[in-house]
Every structure is written in structure tokens, then in C-alpha cells.
Amino acid sequence: GENVEQHPSTLSVQEGDSAVIKCTYSDSASNYFPWYKQELGKGPQLIIDIRSNVGEKKDQRIAVTLNKTAKHFSLHITETQPEDSAVYFCAAPPREYSTLTFGKGTMLLVSP
């Protein structure tokens, strides 16, 4: 099955800095890579995703890059704000394509 590794497990940045979270996956057939943000007491919220036919996707201050050859993808958050503080999860689908295997999560703390 799919194996997803996520790094770092915790990340502290100052407001206005950039943050980068990286994930690797094992199944070369995976073609969809979402990122979720989970705030305390809430369920994960889909914030951005990318399919394997593109290498990068942006949405305002967040972007995701994908390197299919190396089997890794990254989340980039620019101009971080305190409200970006949360746990971020990457995920990839195993061959069944209707489920998701999640990374262990990254706790992002943005200090004012």
C-alpha cells in the first residue's frame, strides 16, 4: 500500500516568514496529492491539492509543488500569519484511489 512520510513534525516561524512542509510517497501510481489544515477542535480542511499532470499550483499565499520522479511534494506558505497556526497534513491515494493515506502531520506555529 501507499506510505506517506511528512517532515518536519513541528515548525516554528515568525509572522511574515515562509514555511515549507515536505512529503514523500511510495506508490508511483498515485496521481492526486491534497493538503489539509486542521485547527484545534475541528476536522481537517482541504486547502489545496495537485494532480500529477502539473508541477505546481498556487492559491494566494499557499502553493504546492510536485516532483513525480522523486516522489515528493511540498506545501509552501508565504507571508505567514498567526491564523496559519495549525496542524497540516499531506495525503496520497493508494491504488484504490477512493481512500487517502495521510502523513503524520506538521504542527505549524506562527509567532507574532
Partner 1 sequence: KAGVTQTPRYLIKTRGQQVTLSCSPISGHRSVSWYQQTPGQGLQFLFEYFSETQRNKGNFPGRFSGRQFSNSRSEMNVSTLELGDSALYLCASSAGTGVEQFFGPGTRLTVL
Q: Is the CB of 61 or the CB of 104 nearer to partner 1?
A: 104
Q: Where are the alpha helices (DSSP H) in 1-112?
A: none
According to CB under 8 A, which residues from 36 to 95 bind partner 1?
A: 36, 41-46, 49, 89, 93
Q: Is the CB of 17 or the CB of 39 nearer to partner 1?
A: 39
Pairing state of beta strands 106-111 and 10-14?
parallel
In order, the DSSP letters of 33-54 are EEEEEE-TTS--EEEEEEETT-
Report d(CA 17, CA 42) in Å as an integer: 25
Stretch that binds partner 1, among 20-28, 58-66, 68-76, 98-106 (CB under 8 A): 98-106
| Mask for 15-34, x = binds partner 1 (CB under 8 A) | -----------------x-x
Q: Evaluate whether 7 touches 21 at the Cβ level (below 8 Å).
A: yes
Residues within the interface to partner 1 (CB under 8 A): 32, 34, 36, 41-46, 49, 89, 93, 96-105
